[in-house]
Structures are given as structure tokens and as C-alpha cells.
Structure 1
Amino acid sequence: MIDVETDATRSIRTVTLARPEARNALTVEGLADLETAIDDAEASVIYLQGRGPAFCAGADLAAVSDLDGDRERAGEFARLGQRVARTIEESPAVVVAGIDGPARGGGLELALACDVRVGTPDSTYGEPGVTFGLFGAWGGTVRLPRVLGEGDALEFALSGRTVDAEEALRMGLISRLEEEPRTVAESIAANATDAMAVLKRRIRDDRERATQERLEAQAFGDLVAAHADDIDSVLE
């Protein structure tokens, strides 16, 4: 479930991941709704947040389990997540992630697609899929080394470890640490819309991503097929 609210000045659209009972994990329907919420925005700034004690747990593991180890369906699920992340990245609006609580797997990858990531002191970050035979496949293998550098990206992804807000700031996973992340979105929204749009296009220019994402989705499909039983055991 995705909640959308635009402020009276129409300068900030707030998009809230609203499945707190599931730590805002995303199903196929949730990803589609998120894509629409981003794509339909006319505001100059989009503020993405989670409801409740988590930002986003990533893909709903029950939805991954329902793929029944089918490579093609798993690849389609990965490509949907990649498309949503690209919609965030390519939006003409500046997208600010306000991260409070856990950002895991696909949830972290969606945050990586945002232009600015602001964490609270209670935020935590991790790519735990490797512990049960998967990895986040929503563009993370493309964006993580771009954000962290290859060495830190490899250590972080291969270890499956969780980092706290201070370490995330040091690593560059987040760009700011604030008690109230929305204040950063509000300060950005005061700037010239056209200048921000040009800056975003130029800084975001990346022409080799499509091939990398295609291979990422294929690899995800292979792993879902190989680890279907392991995925089910995590849900038990």
C-alpha cells in the first residue's frame, strides 16, 4: 500500500510505503503503485518514507516464495523492481529518501536510486539476501559500487552485515544524518526547479546500466530457482 500527499504549494509530494505490519515490504502490486506515485508527481521534490518502525524491508519474501523457483517469473519480478528504481532515478523531481529504521535489500536499493538519502540516528542498512542464497536485484549491483566504490560495495554485499546510521554515513550509503529528514526535502524544495532538473540529468547520466541490469535480473532468476527451499525456510 502506498499513500500519497502533496503539500499546498505543490512543491513536495510525500510518498509513504504503508505496510507497517510487514515492515513496508513490497509486493508486485506495491511496486506498481510506487511507480505510479513517482511517475505522476508534478512537484519539484518527492519525499519517500516508510510508515511505522521501518523504512522498507525490500521485496516481500512471501511474494518471492510464490514464484515457486521459476526463473522467468523471478526475472520479471527483478525487472519490475529495476524499473521502479529507474523511475525514481529518472524522475524530473528531486527524490529524497527519509530513512528511519531498517532499510534492507530492495528497500535499500530503492533508497540508492533516490537523489538524496537522509537517515535518522535509528536507521540501519543491510543486504541480507546473501545469507539465504539471494541478493537484492533492483539495480543494487549497479548502484552500490557507484555509491560506495567497488571495495566497500563488495565487502558490504558479500558479508550480509547490517550497519548503523553512523557507519552508513561514513560509507556514503546516506548523505545526511538528521532527526527529521523531511527538513532536508523542504530546504531543497526552496531552490529553482529548472536548475535542479538540469543538475540531476547531468549528474545522473549513465549509459551502460541497461546491460548490467539485464544480467542482474537473469542471475536473480537463477538463484530463486536454486534456493526456493531456502527462501521458504526463511518464512517459517
Structure 2
Amino acid sequence: MVGTTADGAVRTITLDRPEKRNALTRETLRDLESTLADATAPVVVLRGAGEAFCAGADLDVIAGLDADAAGEFAALGQHVARTIEGYDGAVVAAVDGAARGGGVELALACDLRVATPAATFAETGVRLGLFGAWGGTVRLPRIVGESAAMDLALTGRTVDATEALRLGLVSRVTDEPRQVASELAAVDHGALRTVKGLLRDGGDREQREARERAAFAELIAARED
């Protein structure tokens, strides 16, 4: 249910359930986690097969959950999202077609979200009496701001690629998202990993600045070796 291919410094991971619009089951999430754990490329592209990026959690799975199983399923999704976020390299969500619910949450965990003109996004959980429990309530306001996050999460409305770009939900709209991965692969890989780690740093300002100075010195030292 998850495929992977390599092209130089770029590894592409494909959610491969096109008949289900790449909806996520426990098995798909575990496959995605293990594929990421095995990856060593400095740049990873996450994409969906067929006409959708990812429809979110498989509703057949949701229908069979009790309260305990729901908590476990949420924990698994959160863990996978953290695995994406913490990957030792850059992860690009190449969104072509629909991203819904958990699919949006996986994209939010990526370092860059690049959309085609055909991409659409919606946090549809509220329409089903649910919400994004894979870290979406944490990452969405951080990325688009609280006001836009409230609008998207409370209404469940769909936004197209143009509006997603305006909101900051995606960083670019292009016919070929993987071109962005090629740009990332062309930079110094050590610097790429270092800068990502610093931008993801959640410490206070002084601690972050100290780590920034130390990391910069380490990169200079590596150039001198």
C-alpha cells in the first residue's frame, strides 16, 4: 500500500491505494512509518497514486472503532506525523488532487507542501462529528495562523490551490511539485539538514540562537576538514 522509488538524492514515497483515494488504514500508516525509517535520502517526496493525494483515514476503519481503539488509532497517526516531521532531511508533500482530513495532517507534518493547480484541501472531520487528531490541531494554527485554522477546521470547507497558497498552507503551486525536490537535492545536504533542525527547534529564543551559532560553526569546521 506504500511504494517507493529512488532518483539520486530524492526518494519518492507513494501512498498506493488509488481505488480508495489513498485512504489510510493502520497497515498503510505502519507501512509509511517503516518506509520512512528505512529511507536515507536527503530529500523525500510524499505523494498519492491516482487522482487524489490522500482522502484521510479510511472511513471503514473509523466505523469499527470503539473509544480505546480510537485512542490507539489517533496515537498511531500522531506517531507517523512526528516521524515525517522528524525525518533527517527535507520532506516535500506533493499534493495533486484531493487532500482531506488525515491527508492534510500528513501534509502539515512535511517540511514543504507543494500543490498542483488541481489540488484541494479540507479538514472535513467536523462534518463527520470528528476532528483531525493526528496533530492537526497543533500544526494547522502554527502554519496558517489561528484565524485561518479556525475557519478551515470549524467549517470543514474546501480550499483550492490558489487559496491554499494565499493562506500559507502551501508554499508553491506548480505543475510539477517534484521539481522543488530537485531544487532541494541540489543544495548542500549537510546544511539542509542543519537548517531544517534549527527551524524545527522548539526552544526559547536565546537557546535557539545559541544552537544556531554552534551549528553554523560546525558547518564551517566541516568545510575546513
Does TM-score exceed 0.5, indicating one fold?
A: yes
Residue number among 139, 142, 146 corresponding to 1:143 in the alignment: 139
Name stretches of at least 5 consecutive residues in structure 1 with no aligned partner. Answer: 208-236
Give the equivalent residue in structure 1 for 2:109: 113
Give the equivalent residue in structure 1 for 2:88: 92
**TM-score after normalising by structure 1:** 0.85
Give the equivalent residue in structure 1 for 2:79: 83
Give the equivalent residue in structure 2 for 1:48: 46
In structure 1, what residue type is equivalent to 2:108? L
Q: Percent identity?
A: 59
Residue number among 19, 22, 27 corresponding to 1:21 in the alignment: 19
**TM-score after normalising by structure 2:** 0.89
Could you tell me how far apart the structure 2 residues matched to 1:132 and 1:49 are? 25
In structure 2, what residue type is equivalent to 1:2? V
Give the equivalent residue in structure 2 for 1:35: 33
* Matching of residues 1-236 of structure 1 within 5 Å: 1-7=1-7, 9=8, 11-67=9-65, 70-206=66-202
Distance apart, 1:206 and its partner CA: 2.8
Name stretches of at least 5 consecutive residues in structure 2 with no aligned partner. Answer: 204-225
| Deviation >6 Å, runs of 4+ | none
Alignment size in residue pairs: 204
Question: RMSD between aligned alpha carbons?
Answer: 1.1
Distance apart, 1:38 and its partner CA: 1.2
Larger radius of gyration: 2
Could you tell me how far apart the structure 2 residues matched to 1:61 and 1:168 are? 25
Q: 1:42 is paired with a residue of what secondary structure?
A: coil
